[in-house]
Amino acid sequence: MKAAQVAIVTGASRGIGAEIAKHLARDGYQVVVNYASNAAEADKVVQDIAAVGGKAIAVKANVADATEVAAMFDAAEKAFGKIDVLINNAGVMPSHLPTLTDTDDKAFDSMVAINIKGTFNTLRLAAKRMEQGGRIVNLSTSIVGTTLPGYSVYGATKAAVETMSQIFAKELRGRGIRVNVVAPGPVATELFLTGKTPERIEALSKMAPLERLGQPDDVAKTVSFLVGEQSGWVNGQVLRVNGGLV
C-alpha cells in the first residue's frame, strides 16, 4: 500500500489555513496543523480532522523564527516520517488598513517578518528536507493586482512572495518539486472582516463579476488542485482566485 502523503500547513488554526488543512485531510493527507499562539483553535482543527478519520498533529511555531521552523519540520518527520507538501498560509495584515504614511514600524516589521521571512524560512528548509516530487503552495493576495489603498506594505510583502516563489521553482530544477502561488481576492474570514464596516464589506463583495466574497473552501479547493496529480504540469505560476476581480 502506498504511504500517505504528508502536508505541513502554516497558520492553520483558523480561516483559510484551517480549511486547507481539513480539505487536504479529506484528500487523504496526514496534516501538520501549524499555529503561532492559539493552541485551542489548532487542537480543534486536529479534532475535526480526526472526526472524519484523518490524521493530524498541531505544532506551535513562529514561522519568522528559523529555529522554530526547523523544530516544526522535525515534528512532522517524527510523527509521519516525511514531508511531501508545504502550504505557506501564515500571514498578517493590519485590520485598520493604514496608508503607507500611517504604517508604523511595528506593523511594517511584523508583516515583513511573517509574510516574507516566514515564507523564506520554510522554503529554505523544504529545499533540503522535502521528498523528491514534493509540492509547495505559497499564499499571496490579489491586492498585488488591484493595488487598493491601505494595503501598500501588505501587498508589497505578498509581491515579494510571488517573485520568490517563481524563482525558487526554477532553482529546484531536477528535484521534481513544484512551487506555485494562490492569490485570493476578498475572502470571508476573520482576518478580512475585522475592522471593516458592513458597507465596506458589501462594496468589496460586489467588486468581482461573480458578486460575492470568496469562501475559505474556494481557496482550499484550489490548493488541493495544485498539490494533486491533475496539476502535474503546473509549476512556477500565480493563480488568482478572486471571482474575476483582476
* 2 has a pLDDT exceeding 80: no
20, 227 contact by CB (below 8 A)? no
Predicted confidence at residue 190, as pLDDT, reads: 82
> Chain-wide mean pLDDT for the chain?
96
**pLDDT digit string (tens) for 30-76?**
999 999 999 999 999 999 999 999 999 999 999 999 999 999 999 99
- Report, as residue numbers or ranges, the catalytic residues: 154
Alpha-carbon Rg for the chain in angstroms: 17
Predicted confidence at residue 195, as pLDDT, reads: 77
Beta-carbon neighbour count of residue 91 at 10 Å?
Answer: 26
The CA-CA-CA angle for residues 106, 156, 190, to 5°, reads: 65
Predicted confidence at residue 193, as pLDDT, reads: 84
Predicted confidence at residue 150, as pLDDT, reads: 95
**pLDDT digit string (tens) for 103-138?**
999 999 999 999 999 999 999 999 999 989 999 999
Nearest-CA neighbor of 16 among 77, 91, 82, 79? Answer: 91
Question: pTM for this structure?
Answer: 0.97
- Cα separation, 64 vs 204, in Å, equals 31
Q: In one letter, which amino acid is 156?
A: A
* 1 has a pLDDT exceeding 70: no
Tell me the three state secondary structure of residue 181. Answer: strand
- DSSP H or E stretch at residue 159: helix 152-171
**pLDDT digit string (tens) for 192-208?**
888 788 998 999 899 99
CA 236 to chain centre: 16
Could you state, in order of their start, the residue ranges of all structural domains in the chain?
A: 6-241
Confidence band, pLDDT 50/70/90 cuts, at residue 226? very high
Classify residue 65 as exposed, middle or buried by CB count within 10 Å of its CB (0-12, 13-18, 19+). middle
The whole-number average pLDDT for the span 189-194 is 82
**pLDDT digit string (tens) for 139-182?**
999 999 999 999 999 999 999 999 999 999 999 999 999 999 99
24, 227 contact by CB (below 8 A)? yes
| Strand residues in 76-225 grouped as ranges (E) | 85-88, 135-139, 178-184
**pLDDT digit string (tens) for 81-91?**
999 999 999 99
108, 59 contact by CB (below 8 A)? no
- Cα separation, 226 vs 153, in Å, equals 27
- N- to C-terminal Cα separation, the chain: 44
The domain 6-241 belongs to what CATH superfamily?
Answer: NAD(P)-binding Rossmann-like Domain (3.40.50.720)
Dihedral (CA of 101, 103, 104, 109) sign: negative
